[in-house]
Structure 1
Amino acid sequence: MAYEMNPGAISLGACKIWYWDEDWVGIGSTVGGAVISYLPQYYDLKIDQLGETVVKKMLQGESAGVSFGIAESGLDKLKLAIPFGTIYVSGSDRAMGVGVNTGGDLLERTLKLKVHPINTRGTGGTDDESYIDDDFTIWKAGNTGAVEIPFSPSQPRVYRVAMAIFPDLTKDAGKYLFLIGDPEVSGEDTLPPSVTAGKAEVDGVETDIAGAADVDIDTVIKLTFSEALKETTVGASHFILKADNGTTAINCAIVYDSALHQVTLDPASNLSNSTVYEVIVNGLRDISDNAMSTPYIARFTTAAA
């Protein structure tokens, strides 16, 4: 398999953060970035015969957290950092009291958060908030870190929060802590990947590959899949291009475009004229580790000399 790099898949930039209060409310400006952390805890299984050698790691628990710096002032936003603070209202006046809440249950004061990495998919390179494939939805988060509010002429008044993420047992077991992507998705992915389109070139124009005639001898072959593939399975052993009556696979450069779910096969040399070729795809897995259920096979004929 050709070693390919896709710099377009490298993300750099800030995010937008909302919290739920009968509707999504934006936290506004942040400083210092946001970090979502995940830590699995494992039990090291050892057996007498191998002494202290760890033969298996068994998952015992998972923990997660989110931290960010709130840059905009206001009691409502300060309350995010001090969940046991009490808001007092008298007419148009407001204040927040902070005192002893011994025995208070932080779980009852958690927030639902949405973290949206800013993208450039919108008009003119602006952020498209409807693109949620990279969004994090955190069901229950509460600040457990110290809150320091600096007063300095040389730096903004930013207070950082370090929130623990708690499991929401009303969710499916696989997403107790948080979800990456569309929060409305339900049901575990058990569907295998499949080829939804195969293309070859006829006179330089992409054409359905199955049964195609007069295919250019310098064609590339593009295979589009129903979903994202597990990239470690995208290799030469799973893609075979050969003459229909032959047994030797033709050497091809293999390039995977994760954004399009598309694999391109580029033969190392021109194909032979007036020859029937066969493309076979098998054994690929999606990112949920579901394997293709049946091979994809398509035949085409190259143009005469």
Structure 2
Amino acid sequence: MADNTQIIDVPIGPAVVEFGDTSPITFDITKGGIVFTANFSKQDITVDQFGDTPVKSILKGGTCQLAVPFALHDLEKLNRVTPGSVYAEDATNPDEVKKRLNVYAKAGFDLLKAAEKVVVKPTTPGTTPNDYITIPLGSPMPEIQWTYNSDNERVANIIIAGYPDKDGLLYFLGDEAVTITGAV
């Protein structure tokens, strides 16, 4: 009988993404994997006596980004994540609802004003809220690249940039129900 006490449990598998504070929409059909990236930047401090060798480093800030390769042709959902877009339907014939999404090229759109809560929820068995990633203020911008052939799916890559909230919180990993008092 095998000794399973030393099993290394490395999670894999797909996830869904919820975008929105009050009425979240769910991006549940993806192609290529949802990718969360978080980075910090630093300033190396040098002095003449040590040349280019840093004597210490100062944290300058952090960024986070989420890439969601949405694989459905859902114009209504794309409207929710496309800055400055307008969506309309003509349901005169309920069996053949006509849909349209206008995307305008207007400079100066404030992405922070469009930011809402984003939650990544893995869908593999055994997943708990401890496995979630939450961006309290995430602003989306789609990067659509639809290839029309018989070999490729049409994917709208939704890139969500995270912004710090009023307390400076950029993102958190784990269960939202856990309270942490005091910021760093």
Asked if TM exceeds 0.5, the reply is yes
Q: Contact 2:144 / 2:155 at 8 angstroms: preserved in 1?
A: no
Matched, 1:185 2:182: no
Q: Contact 1:82 / 1:147 at 8 angstroms: preserved in 2?
A: no
Instruction: Classify the secondary structure of the residue corresponding to 1:76.
Output: helix
Give the alignment of 1:172-211 within 5 angstroms: 172-173=167-168, 176-188=169-181
When residues 33 and 132 of structure 1 are mapped into structure 2, their CA distance, relative to the original with a 3 A threshold, is: same
Instruction: Classify the secondary structure of the residue corresponding to 1:146.
Output: strand
Partner of 2:157: 160
Instruction: Classify the secondary structure of the residue corresponding to 1:54.
Output: coil
When residues 159 and 7 of structure 1 are mapped into structure 2, their CA distance, relative to the original with a 3 A threshold, is: farther
Q: 1:71, CA displacement in angstroms?
A: 0.9
Give the alignment of 1:112-261 within 5 angstroms: 112-121=117-126, 131-144=128-141, 146-169=143-166, 172-173=167-168, 176-188=169-181
Q: Contact 1:150 / 1:159 at 8 angstroms: preserved in 2?
A: no
Instruction: Classify the secondary structure of the residue corresponding to 2:129.
Output: coil
Give the alignment of 1:269-284 within 5 angstroms: none
Paired letter, 1:96: L
Paired letter, 1:98: V
How far apart, in 1, do the equivalents of 2:177 and 2:104 lie?
A: 39
Q: Contact 2:38 / 2:63 at 8 angstroms: preserved in 1?
A: yes
Superposed CA RMSD: 2.3
Q: Contact 1:30 / 1:68 at 8 angstroms: preserved in 2?
A: yes
TM-score with structure 2 length normalisation?
A: 0.82
When residues 39 and 145 of structure 1 are mapped into structure 2, their CA distance, relative to the original with a 3 A threshold, is: farther
Instruction: Classify the secondary structure of the residue corresponding to 1:62.
Output: strand
Q: 1:91, CA displacement in angstroms?
A: 5.2
Q: Contact 1:36 / 1:66 at 8 angstroms: preserved in 2?
A: yes
Q: 1:100, CA displacement in angstroms?
A: 2.5
Paired letter, 1:103: G
How far apart, in 2, do the equivalents of 1:141 and 1:149 lie?
A: 24
Paired letter, 2:125: T
When residues 6 and 179 of structure 1 are mapped into structure 2, their CA distance, relative to the original with a 3 A threshold, is: farther
Q: 1:105, CA displacement in angstroms?
A: 0.9
When residues 120 and 20 of structure 1 are mapped into structure 2, their CA distance, relative to the original with a 3 A threshold, is: same
- What is the aligned residue count? 173
Identical positions, percent:
24
Greater gyration radius: 1
Q: Contact 1:141 / 1:165 at 8 angstroms: preserved in 2?
A: yes
Q: 1:21, CA displacement in angstroms?
A: 5.5
Structure 1 unaligned residues grouped into runs of 5+: 122-127, 190-305
Q: 1:82, CA displacement in angstroms?
A: 2.2
When residues 21 and 64 of structure 1 are mapped into structure 2, their CA distance, relative to the original with a 3 A threshold, is: closer
How far apart, in 1, do the equivalents of 2:86 and 2:122 lie?
A: 31
User: Which has the bigger relative contact order, CA under 8 A and spacing at least 6?
Assistant: 2
Alpha-carbon displacement from aligned partner over 1:25-76 (angstroms, at most 9, x marks no partner):
3212111001111110101011222121111111011111000210112112
